[in-house]
Amino acid sequence: MSAIARGEGRGTSAIDTTMRVLGIDPGTVTTGWGVVEERGTRLIRVTSGVVRARGSLAERLAQIFGEIEAVVVQAAPLVLSLEKNFVAANVQSAFRLGEARGAVLTAAARAGIAIAEYSPAEIKLAVAGSGRATKEQIQTMVRRLLGVRTPLAHDEADALGAAICHLHHRRFVERMAQPTVLALSRARRRAGRRWTSLRVVPSK
């Protein structure tokens, strides 16, 4: 039975959806997940939770896949957002993380939703304003940005942070695509080219 079906997820679903994103913090033992919806200028937590996998590696990966697939089906996000893969100091840890990511990505691919990846520093910067923010700072800022009063597990907060990062990135891209911004950007580039093309004649 899925996390949502068991009632482990928090929050309620809404019909009026502007953009809904599923954030994931993958791990072969604990995988955090969280669905965030953008409504105008507000960010709302729809539901979130943690998959606590048990058993052999294969069994844990199957459980992660099943739980995330259930979340995708029931919460109907448009995008999956998660951290980019990285090379950890512990090679075995990097392998395990890659396997958990594979289970999550497979669930997203089967559902046909878009996938966005961000570096840990990009997610921290989007949520806490610093690429070196601690887990405690991320947890505090996620609760503040989403108006969550109840405590969040670190993995759950990290997953919600990944979703917030994508929504912030989307807003930035949309602002840059506006005609006024595009015109200003092009004017600046033209001015820069004119400036660099000026020939400087040394004084005699």
Residues with a catalytic annotation lie at 25, 83, 155
Token digits of residue 62: 């199957």
Supply angle C-alpha 128, 85, 158, rounded to 5: 30
What residue type is 99 in one-letter code?
A: E
For CA atoms 98, 103, 109, 111, the dihedral sign is negative
CA 91/CA 81 separation, integer angstroms? 24
Provide the 10 A C-beta neighbour count for residue 177: 9
Q: How far is CA 170 from the centre of its chain?
A: 11
What residue type is 198 in one-letter code?
A: L
State the virtual CA torsion across 124, 95, 106, 57 in degrees, nearest 10.
Answer: -120
Cβ(14)–Cβ(20) under 8 Å? no
